[in-house]
Amino acid sequence: MLLALFVLGLVQGLTEFLPVSSSGHIVLLSKVFHMEESLFLSILLHIATLLSIVVVFHKDIWTMIKHPFSNQTIMLAVATIPTCLIVLVLMPLVKMAFVGEFLPICFAITALILCISQMLAKRKTQNCLNLKTAFFMGVAQGFAVFPGISRSGSTIGAGLSCGAESDSVTKFSFLMSIPIILLSLLMEIFEVATKGIQINLPVFPTIVSFLTAFLVGIFAIKVMLKFTQKAKLHYFSLYLIALSVISLFIV
């Protein structure tokens, strides 16, 4: 159990912020190890990765709290609205997708998004992040609700394709995840409370899983900030193509 929870925390921490889809990896991992989904563990790991963002971007977050009508805060709201609307519309399909049948296609879609966005990023003039770019990043985040389609990959890809500068796009992509992670947390907590789900996880391995996801999440954020400075997204694209092929034989 300790090893399984450690691996789960490691995978969650890495894939939450790298453009390879954390939900896709978790679904694939559960197929490989025949693991049952635990809502309580999912809540803890989401909190861990949320704390990773808070640690790395605490200055930006504090600035937005002090200035709730700043340009960055408004852009965050503009990005979040289309995400929520798209997720609500697609929710019935999303629940079906978590069975895992669409994983090969979704991994391949993410690989294609990364390749196209990298090519467009090299051709377009680097502009400042604006409301239009934030909106399209929010739309991309909405469709990334499917396991296998990376949230960070889709949003960063959308921002780069709009011609925005890579550093600001990557940072904004991570900040965009805060309200979405919070909303998903509230939904999971509500489900646990209403269904009366019992918590039967061992304490020490669960703590190890939480700390692993938190620490590895900080590392993954810093890796992505470095990689996107030179738009080296094709490395992740090659990995996703291989993963798409592998998942054909697992799901």
Query: Roughly what angle, to the nearest 10 degrees, separates helices 22-33 and 2-15?
Result: 160
What confidence score (pLDDT) does residue 95 get? 75
Whole-prediction pTM = 0.89
- Burial (0-12, 13-18, 19+ Cβ within 10 Å), 11: buried
Give residue-wise pLDDT tens across range 118-129: 787 766 666 778
For 8, how many CA atoms within 13 A lie in the half-sphere containing its CB? 29
195 pLDDT more than 80: no
The neighbour count for residue 72, using CB atoms within 10 Å, is 16
